[in-house]
Amino acid sequence: MECATLKDKINTVNNEVKETSFKAKTNIKSEEEINQFLDGINSVRGILNDKIERLNNIVIKVESISWADNIDDECLRILNELIASSRDLHSVLIKDYVRYLNPLKLRGICNSEIKNYKLALDSFKEVYSDIESVFFFLPKDSEFVALTTRLNAI
């Protein structure tokens, strides 16, 4: 191979290496940027854990209401407001889950926290639905009323 041709080839390859090196250096995030990213993930984890704790506390409190008896009309009105508020909250939280958390989950970010958050959302929905059944639907069900009367007689 002629020296001039070899020089051209070497220069071409050298320029390609330099260009690739420059692109690689500009694509690699600085340590500060990586730390900010990781801080963001930790922030999301904290927010989710706070929401999980809050939802689980609400579930416990609503469950305790489901065992109440001798409910008057005022209590039924307040319970109806509780159910409506719970439905609204659940709707907002599910929309946020789909919009913000599902994409993170698909990328493998905060998987355990997102799973626990979804479980807390499901428990919340179940408990306010149970309250609705116990106080508004089942008392109107003649079979349920008859069964409850027989059980109370025992």
Distance CA(41)–CA(25), nearest Å, equals 24
Q: Over the stretch 97-110, which tens digit does the pLDDT of each residue have?
A: 999 999 999 999 99
Is it the case that residue 153 has pLDDT exceeding 70?
A: yes
Burial 11-40 (b: 16+ CB within 10 A, else e): eeeeeeeeeeeeeeeeeeeeeeeeeeeeee
Is it the case that residue 118 has pLDDT exceeding 60?
A: yes
Global confidence as pTM: 0.73
| Average predicted confidence (pLDDT) for the chain | 87
Q: Domain residues of the chain, as ranges?
A: 92-136
Q: Are 90 and 128 in contact (CB under 8 A)?
A: yes
Q: Over the stretch 75-101, which tens digit does the pLDDT of each residue have?
A: 999 999 999 999 999 999 999 999 999
User: In degrees rounded to 5, what are phi and psi of residue 67?
Assistant: -95, 0
Structure tokens at 110: 């905060």
Q: Over the stretch 18-50, which tens digit does the pLDDT of each residue have?
A: 787 666 655 556 778 888 888 999 999 999 999
